[in-house]
Amino acid sequence: MAIRQVSVFVENRKGALADPLRVLSEAGIGLRALSIADTSDFGILRIITDDNTKAAFVLSEHGYVCSVTDVVAACADDKPGGLADLLTTLSEQGVDVEYVYAFVAKTGNHAWVVMRVNDNTEAERILRESNITLVSEADIAAV
């Protein structure tokens, strides 16, 4: 049940972040989650949208270098230690987490956590066995 994430290379200059977001807006694509990591020259914009396939296509058509990556999304309890507990569950079973970002969903007392891990299938199995709810692309699109 991995979900797709779109990664976009963005020049690190004033106003550059708004440009790809405007392209998505004009295409009627809604953002659900966003993370950006930057260096002195460029940034990597990671986004989850209500239509990731269309987002990648539209951005490519506008000249952006982008890629689509499978990531895992799960519900962490929205309380102190909730994310630490979830990450410990994976770590104790040998799953490496490369990066994480989270956003609060409109589904109660949960934060939705997006994780890039070394083994999506194994991470999903561990999370299910630990009674941690996985989040699907349909769940995210419905927010």
Claim to verify: residue 34 and residue 81 sit in the same structural domain = no
**47-101 confidence digits (pLDDT tens):** 999 999 999 999 999 999 999 999 999 988 888 999 999 999 999 999 999 999 8
Answering whether pTM is above 0.85, one says: no
What is the domain-level CATH number for residue 78?
3.30.2130.10
- Which structural domain range is residue 29 located in? 3-69
Claim to verify: residue 85 and residue 63 sit in the same structural domain = no
Strands 31-38 and 66-77: unpaired
d(CA 73, CA 70): 10
The number of domains in the chain is 2
pLDDT above 70 coverage of the chain, percent: 95
